[in-house]
Chains A and B, each alone.
Chain A
Amino acid sequence: MRTLLEKSVPLLAWAGFTVLAGALAAILGYIVMRSWAVLHLSLLFGDVAPIDAIFLRHPVFDGLFPAVAGTFLLVLIAVLLAVPVGMAAGIYLAEYAGYRMKSCLSLLFDILAGLPSVVVGLAGFSLTILLHKVFPGKIGPCLLLSALALCFLILPYLIRTTQTALESVPLSLRQTAPALGATKLQNICKVLLPSKLTDILGGIILAVGRAAEDTAVIMLTGVVASAGIPRSLFEQFEALPFYIYYISSQYTNAEELQTGFGAAMLLLVLCGILFLLAFFTQQTLSRHFRR
């Protein structure tokens, strides 16, 4: 009986791995195959010259540029909002909070991290409604509110990354600066944070990836299928993941579908690059510090 079990386990393991690797190969292969034909600059810019499009001299109607620009702006605002707050909260948790406060807060952050993104989107949607009641006619679903909701989504990751990075600073390094007369704040800003900068940077890059791929949050807070490039924070916008979702259900001809595959490829490459970047950032750190 035991030998039978022992013999079947490697079989199960290799079978499982083959299934997973096969699924991955099928997904990647299929997207590459279907999007190959549309992968050139006109996918982004349509008939408009790229320079004109980037400097907003000419609107792009049949390219992905507005969606890419929308996603870029959205992620930029969300990350700018979330990074200072998330890092500050992480620093508090690691360096200042007492035991009871710490366990209470980390429970709340764990719940926030675990919330399905559609619930975070629903919170953003609720916020929109409440703001609409306070300022009637002035605030509706828009870029700023979407970015704010995305910021809620990535905050817990940033907090957790900062906290674990700071807590993993070895005691010898942690005590050096205070022994030389540095204040607690000087120690945090000049010793602890710089020593773990790459760790935190890796976490931020991962948060960017998460913000870029999320669809459910923005669906409920202001993304639309066609809006052009937003000219203010209070306008609706387009985004790459939502475009992919929209095409999957609303495409009318083969050409649109092709563009959809092109968009999927673009988002895939974007997230892949972010992931590799985060991975290598964190790898170089750990090697650097072992020496």
Chain B
Amino acid sequence: MRKNYFHPKNLDGVYSVYQIEGLNQDRLIKNLKNGGLTLYNVKKIANHKMSLEISVKQDKNFFAIVEKMCYTNLELKPKIDKKRKKLLKKGVIATKSECGYNIKLTRVHGKAYPLYYLFTHVGVLIGAIIFCLGAYHVDDYIFSFEFTGSGNVVENRVVEYLNSVGVEKGKRFSEFDLNVLADGILAENPLLSYAGCLKRGNKMVIELVLAKNGTDILDESIKSLSSDVDGVVKELKVYRGTPLVGVGDKVSAGDLLVDGVISHKDVQIETNVLAKVVVLAEFNYTFISQFDDRETHAELLAIESLNLPVEYSKITKQPDKDGYLYTVTLYYNRVFVAG
């Protein structure tokens, strides 16, 4: 029969440590040596008790010899040999009471033991492979973005650009060239002097540096910022001017959001406004239909009519004399920027 060189039992540098309890240990040593075994670290532990190490390559020979010698009660902790267990049941191997010997496998060790363990525990090997493949596969997905550097004030513009080229959460890093992406960000934003994209785990880190000389023209003529829609203030950034509303406040069309008058120690100074306010605005659309299942149609029509990115929507349906009245309320971000 051809020898299986890839069998774990043929690995060099792996040793089984056996604890043997019984009389006439000198004879056992002699027989093992005469049987061609190489014995390592043969030590007396106690009276009639010793331990010895054998290369796993010679395990079969060892058991063949000890079985021949009527060595008996085999306790193979890591893995009980089924064949030997059967022999024990059949009585081919004598029991402890008959011969008075115990052979116990206490441990397996050696330089090549990790490899041996993986080969003898195929489940662990498969699990490790699946884990590595899974980690490699999952590592390619974008889970989040991080904006760093002085240019992160133009984060929204960069996000818009990234969305326009299809870079979103859940997409794969391998679908994009990060250098090309960085060049694109830089080209789209004249306010930036440097843009760099990095992969840090599952996070895309975008480093942005503001240009010292921007190409946008600063409009210093805006003395106040007013809302032209009804809604709720979602975001408020005021760099110059006095904010008249806070985040979460309800505003109506025409309400003043930021005033260009600054009060300082009873002195009022009029200045231009430099601010950004995002208002979550409402858009209502009414649709009449004879059918009672036209919610999707109504929503689609309303979104198309608004022609802006919608945050979320609400649809109500009421019976009407002509059929059904669908009222679609769309919520979208209205951004006011001054400066």
Do A and B come together as binding partners?
A: no
List residues of B whose CB falls within 8 A of some A CB: none
List residues of A whose CB falls within 8 A of some B CB: none
